[in-house]
Structure 1
Amino acid sequence: MNPELKQWQQRAAAQTEILLERALPQPTQSPETLHEAMRYVTLGGGKRLRPLLVFAAAELGNSVQAACEAAAVAVECIHVYSLVHDDMPAMDNDSLRRGKPTCHIQYDEPTALLVGDALQTLAFDVLSVPTDLAAARQMRMLNVLARASGSVGMAGGQAIDLANVGADLSQAELENMHSLKTGALIRAAVALGGLSCPDLNDEQLARLDVYASKLGLAFQVIDDVLDCEADTATLGKTAGKDSEANKPTYVKLMGLAAARKYAEDLVAQAVDALAPFGERAARLRELAEFVVVRQN
């Protein structure tokens, strides 16, 4: 990895950790167990890819810092809530996440359910606090995150995934599922960073969305590859889980080498979409290339 990118990622991830720590209720605040569990699943782990995409997209214009920071927190809260619910017995029934016991294992199933609920609503609480950004622009940010999270976004993608265990999906069907389940929140992260810049127009935001759409698919393809190639310790979650559950994946559809090549092609298309932004898009380009070489 580019050493400069690594340093930037570390700084941005550390900033995200500070922002999340401030946004989350203290564990001493009642109800203590719920707040302790929210902090357990959110702090001290993960790639923070979605907040990094918010910060990188915000470099394209004159970002309103408070709006950008709120967006980074909000999108990560939605992401973590989805992981907590996804790991539960009624969904993927996993016992390991980010290298430690999943929420329902560390606490219990009712607590995990409520942790997800609370993180979801915290996201919109944080994002709705007024900033120097125009109210209409901030309302648009709320709408972007809401649509990306719900039945026409991430939750819808999860429903399609659950309904097709053991099924043989076409590439178009698989891409539709993952454009919702994984891609919608990645697209939202990039859009939120762009929307935090009042000087970015709709044409520029549309070009950003092309980048994010390609990146979201590439991320999922590599996830499928890593599920086959990497071990549990490297992944920080149970390796081979999708294959064992007979879920539709890009590796199952294409084979390992073709899936990796497809991810590389998608990243190249994502990077091409950024051409008009010039050097301002350097971080977004580097993050796209990181998605292909990541190990977890």
Structure 2
Amino acid sequence: MLKQYCQEKGKIVDHALAAFVPSENVYPPKIFEAMRYSLFAGGKRLRPILLMAAADSIGGKGSDYLNVACGLEMIHTYSLIHDDLPAMDDDDYRRGKLTSHKVFGEGMAILAGDGLLTAAFTVMLAQPGVQADVLIKVIGEISNAAGALGMIGGQVIDLSSEGEKIDIDTLSYMHQAKTGALFQAAVRAGAQLAGGAEWQIASLTEYAKQYGLAFQITDDILDVTGTQEKIGKPVGSDVKNHKATYVTLYSLGKAQDMANQAVTNALQALKQFGQEADVLRELVRALLTRDN
């Protein structure tokens, strides 16, 4: 069920993104070519899928909120372009393809990321069928999750911590901000857009928090146990950049135990939901067997 759901929703998102982001036939063509290069480089569309699955879990129809879902993917893609830059992680490959700055140059890569970030808010504000106050609240949360109190703040700690010894509290905050905040915003957006009750939104928020933790721990594990063919970029980049991870602070075995516990906690957060939340359950279980 999960594979079919993700394939179907992924195609819907891709179709919408293709309409939202101008083609290289629009002037100036180079910026739109660069934006679309990274946007359609093979992403799993996890954040849009989480938004839609959260809306589905409370009786809504997730595909009704494509503008916000696509805005999340555009923000995520911008962050990857910037993360790969020589001033950040200095990665040459992403999803098995050359990174944006290797294809278009550093300046154009920065502008492509900026273009996606700013366009995301234009796209989200055009979301039809949602009351203005609800939409503004949702976009405000997404903005915070992407900003200095969220994703950007996490990246700041990541950069400043390279080669430094940090404790688990700092590591946890860094990843909750850098990775978890946008997952949480995606799930909360789906619940709020679909008119979820307070208890539903609270439960889904906890689910998203645990999902983000499990995702990051398994990401750290893959940097040790994965292959470049599967994960689409060189393994061992964390070691190369002298970064603290759940594996380096603990051990591979302990990190695997922590991932298992986070998945258990995420499933527990959904205990009051019926089968309508099965996609969310399968999404978090799948993290324990991911290979990319």
TM-score normalised to structure 1 length = 0.96
AA partner of residue 272 (structure 1)? Q
CA distance in 2, matches of 1:54, 1:11: 14
Q: Deviations along 1:69-125, whole A, 9 cap, x unmatched?
A: 112101100100000000001101110011100000011111000001010011111
Q: Which of 278, 289, 292 is 1:293 aligned to?
A: 289
Q: Deviations along 1:138-170, whole A, 9 cap, x unmatched?
A: 111111110000000000000000000112222
Q: Deviations along 1:175-196, whole A, 9 cap, x unmatched?
A: 0110000000111111111122
The answer to whether the 8 Å contact 2:96/2:233 transfers is yes
CA distance in 1, matches of 2:67, 2:254: 39
SS of the residue corresponding to residue 208 of structure 2 reads helix
Tell me which residue corresponds to 1:41. 38
Give runs of aligned pairs for residues 1-296 of structure 1, distance below 5 A: 4-63=1-60, 68-198=65-195, 200-296=196-292
The answer to whether the 8 Å contact 2:41/2:95 transfers is no
The answer to whether the 8 Å contact 1:95/1:101 transfers is yes
Two-structure CA RMSD over aligned residues (Å): 1.2
The answer to whether the 8 Å contact 1:154/1:181 transfers is yes
CA distance in 2, matches of 1:205, 1:121: 27
CA distance in 2, matches of 1:44, 1:18: 14
CA distance in 2, matches of 1:7, 1:286: 12
Offset of residue 129 of structure 1:
1.0
Overall identity of the aligned pairs, in %: 40
**Which piece of structure 1 moves more, 229-238 or 109-118?**
229-238
Offset of residue 287 of structure 1:
0.3
CA distance in 2, matches of 1:267, 1:29: 45
Offset of residue 62 of structure 1:
4.3
CA distance in 1, matches of 2:248, 2:4: 36
Aligned residues: 292
Tell me which stretches of 4 or more aligned residues in structure 1 moved more than 4 Å. 64-67
CA distance in 1, matches of 2:291, 2:61: 33
Offset of residue 27 of structure 1:
1.0
CA distance in 2, matches of 1:100, 1:174: 29
Which sections of structure 1, spanning at least 5 residues, go unmatched?
none
CA distance in 2, matches of 1:61, 1:258: 35
The answer to whether the 8 Å contact 2:65/2:127 transfers is no
AA partner of residue 276 (structure 1)? Q
CA 1:272–1:66 in 2, change beyond 3 Å: closer, same or farther? closer
